[in-house]
Chain A
Amino acid sequence: MSLLSTEEIVKNYDGVRALNRVSLHVPRGIIKGLIGPNGAGKTTLFHLISGVEKPTSGKISFKGKDITRMDPHQISLLGLGRTFQTLQIWGNMTVVENVMAGMHTRLKGGFLSCGLWFPWVKRTEKEALEEAKEILEFLGLLGRWKWPASQLSFGEQKILELGRALAMQPELILLDEPAAGLTLTEVGQLSERISQLRKQGITIFIVEHHMGMVMDMADEIAVLDNGELIAEGSPDVVRRDPRVIEAYLKGVRVDA
């Protein structure tokens, strides 16, 4: 059974059909890529899955539960993390606080117990700090844990956003163009870390324009064009699909 599946998803924006009957499946434990030209509806699909927007019709299920009409925070509580195409880092906090805020739902304490600093709050805060530092070490940001997040470079902020998603211990992470705007070395490091995450058993669903990265990493690729799913399968199959070449890879060397 697949971890995430969408059935006949339709999304209309004031008469514009952004997604037309998209049905796809993300099996557990793989890296799935989602590609397509600009305006194909990739980010819209991510917004629908994470609950930021609601589909016009269709059904989305995650871990066998229907999440179509759930609020974003309920969906994330089920174990679904995401990053954003437009960076949504919390620049008013330090780097480590960004990661610790990602753990919010796992930490104990309400408003009153936090304000009175009860012993268990103290304990969980301490543990959270340690854990956040481990995540930052994994991502190579430990040296800057006390920096204001707004002072990081663009590439580091993207990685921090991944760290924040990791902090909630998700089973599935949606990465929306994680490599956009990164330098080549940073892209290399990022794909290495994503592969490590898969080894830890986290399923990854990734939207990416960086073709080389997706083709190398992904186990399965889905291709969207004009809101329709035109191909789905292993990278080799997708690479040879005439419709994909027609729609997206026109004259582009796929192995680049």
Chain B
Amino acid sequence: MVDSGQKEFRKRDLLYVVPLWLLSLILPDPHLDYRQEARFRRRELFYLGALLLFPLICPNPHFHHIMVLAGINAMLALGLSFFLGYTGQISLGHAAFFGTGAYTTAILTTRYGVPPLVAFWASAVVAAALSYLIGRPILKLKGYFLALATLGFGEIFLVVVREAQELTGGVIGVFGIPWFSLAGCSFDTYLKQYYLVWGVLLGLILFSKNLIRSKMGRAFLAVAASEDAASTVGIKVANIKLGAFVIGAAFAGFAGSLFACVMSTANPEAFGLPLSVLIIMMVILGGMGNLYGPIAGAIFLTWLLDILAKYQEYSLPIYALILILLLITFPEGIGARLNIRLIYLISYWGRKKRRERVEL
């Protein structure tokens, strides 16, 4: 079904098909029927093992720190992918919910001495509540108007944070946020934080995986493909959009809380438009409407930014160039194209065998 209309396979195609196939073992799998499956595939277990072993293979604390940031970014991208990738809406204000989560934890732990675990859950609840209040009115908008409205919301959030100095510390921010601690164990090294962040992310992935294969996942995709058709089968389009928005915000709240605990500061500069755009970039680069794509995109972009930081003023042009090239070569995300090639390869062997049988 996928290879129909493609040309005959040539031997020299093996040159790129085999390396790509090897890559596709690692990269996300965008197959549609995959959504229905409950169990973990071998590929997912491979990811899991790789994540567990990564700090042991690379003992460099800087790498651990980058992976912690990558994990936090992955939570943001995963949350936004419901709204952007699955439901097909656009939000340029996702960083505001991240900021909400970070400030909630910062204020609760430093001012009121709330334990980090409680603050962690409170952050998600506050971010979700805020997104509900914002989403109710503005999700009636579509396309460019929605983009502008969410952009405006992100800016308003920054202004409020800068001006409400008594609560948020203004432009200086909040300092001395305690480490995340759980049952007496304090997450004070990069290694511990690594396992904390990726553990939380694993939980969020499980939640997302269930959500996507349930009726809600189908409703998200239905709204993205055709709102008219969705409403004629009784799906409340406004509620589905709002749900995707609120879940994304709750994920961002969790991410913000962890970010505050890991960095031990919360500062308005971190939660502006550049971060919102970066999250969108992660979702688009990883692949829309596919669960592991945004996570792959987040890891990739976090590392890329870290590596490029060495080149100082040249970093932004190189960054832009790499993004443009990647989007040209992988318009559907990093994962999508490789799997078509894999099917292509398998079907080639299948066809070859069938041909031989016919000739006999």
Tell me the A residues contacting B by CB distance below 8 Å.
50-52, 71-73, 76-77, 81-82, 84, 88-94, 96-97, 100-105, 107, 109-111, 114-117, 121, 124-125, 128-129, 146-148, 151, 164-165, 167-168
Tell me the B residues contacting A by CB distance below 8 Å.
1, 32-33, 35-36, 207-208, 210-211, 213-219, 221-222, 224-226, 228-237, 243, 246-247, 289
Beyond A101-B218, A109-B215, A121-B214, whether A94 also contacts B32 by CB under 8 A is: yes
CA distance A229 to B234 in the complex (A): 30
Determine whether the beta carbon of A115 is less than 8 Å from that of B207. Answer: yes
CA distance A117 to B212 in the complex (A): 11
Chain B min CB distance to A44 (Å): 14
Determine whether the beta carbon of B221 is less than 8 Å from that of A114. Answer: no
Question: B215 contacts which of A77, A104, A148 (Cβ < 8 Å)?
Answer: A104
CA distance A72 to B236 in the complex (A): 9
Secondary structure of the B side of the interface?
Answer: helix
Determine whether the beta carbon of A73 is less than 8 Å from that of B243. Answer: no
Chain A min CB distance to B129 (Å): 14
Q: Can you name 18 extra interface pairs (CB under 8 A) apart from A97-B36, A124-B215?
A: A73-B231, A73-B236, A84-B229, A88-B228, A88-B229, A90-B225, A92-B224, A93-B218, A94-B33, A96-B36, A101-B233, A101-B235, A105-B234, A111-B243, A114-B210, A128-B215, A146-B32, A151-B1
Contacts of A93 in B (CB 8 A): 32, 218, 221-222, 225
Determine whether the beta carbon of A76 is less than 8 Å from that of B33. Answer: no
Determine whether the beta carbon of B215 is less than 8 Å from that of A101. Answer: yes
Determine whether the beta carbon of B229 is less than 8 Å from that of A90. Answer: yes
Contacts of A164 in B (CB 8 A): 229, 233
Residue of A nearest to B223 (CB): A90
Determine whether the beta carbon of A111 is less than 8 Å from that of B216. Answer: yes
Determine whether the beta carbon of A116 is less than 8 Å from that of B210. Answer: yes
Determine whether the beta carbon of A101 is less than 8 Å from that of B219. Answer: yes
Contacts of B229 in A (CB 8 A): 84, 88-90, 164
Determine whether the beta carbon of B233 is less than 8 Å from that of A114. Answer: no
Chain B min CB distance to A91 (Å): 6
Determine whether the beta carbon of A102 is less than 8 Å from that of B221. Answer: no
Residue of A nearest to B237 (CB): A73
Residue of B nearest to A113 (CB): B214
Determine whether the beta carbon of A101 is less than 8 Å from that of B232. Answer: no
Beyond A111-B216, A114-B210, whether A76 also contacts B221 by CB under 8 A is: no
Contacts of B235 in A (CB 8 A): 73, 101, 104-105
Contacts of A116 in B (CB 8 A): 207, 210
CA distance A111 to B48 in the complex (A): 26
Contacts of A151 in B (CB 8 A): 1
Question: A76 contacts which of B216, B222, B232, B243 (Cβ < 8 Å)?
Answer: B232
CA distance A169 to B213 in the complex (A): 22
Determine whether the beta carbon of B35 is less than 8 Å from that of A97. Answer: yes
Contacts of B233 in A (CB 8 A): 76, 81, 101-102, 104-105, 164-165, 167-168
CA distance A148 to B222 in the complex (A): 13
Q: Which of B214, B219, B234 has the most CB of A within 10 A?
A: B234
Contacts of A109 in B (CB 8 A): 214-216
Beyond A111-B243, A151-B1, whether A101 also contacts B210 by CB under 8 A is: no
Contacts of A100 in B (CB 8 A): 215, 218
CA distance A91 to B225 in the complex (A): 7
Beyond A90-B221, A101-B218, A101-B219, whether A81 also contacts B32 by CB under 8 A is: no
CA distance A17 to B171 in the complex (A): 60
CA distance A149 to B230 in the complex (A): 15
CA distance A50 to B35 in the complex (A): 31
Determine whether the beta carbon of B234 is less than 8 Å from that of A104. Answer: yes
4 A-B pairs with the lowest CB-CB distances in the bound complex, closest first: A114-B214, A88-B229, A105-B234, A72-B231
CA distance A104 to B218 in the complex (A): 8
Beyond A101-B218, A117-B214, whether A50 also contacts B232 by CB under 8 A is: yes
Q: Which of A76, A84, A114, A168 has the most CB of B within 10 A?
A: A114
Q: Which of B208, B211, B233, B235 has the most CB of A within 10 A?
A: B233
Q: Please, could you name 10 A-B residue pairs with CB atoms under 8 Å apart, sorted by A? A: A73-B235, A88-B225, A93-B218, A94-B35, A101-B235, A104-B215, A109-B216, A111-B211, A115-B247, A168-B233
Determine whether the beta carbon of B211 is less than 8 Å from that of A90. Answer: no
Contacts of B210 in A (CB 8 A): 114-117, 121
CA distance A115 to B210 in the complex (A): 5
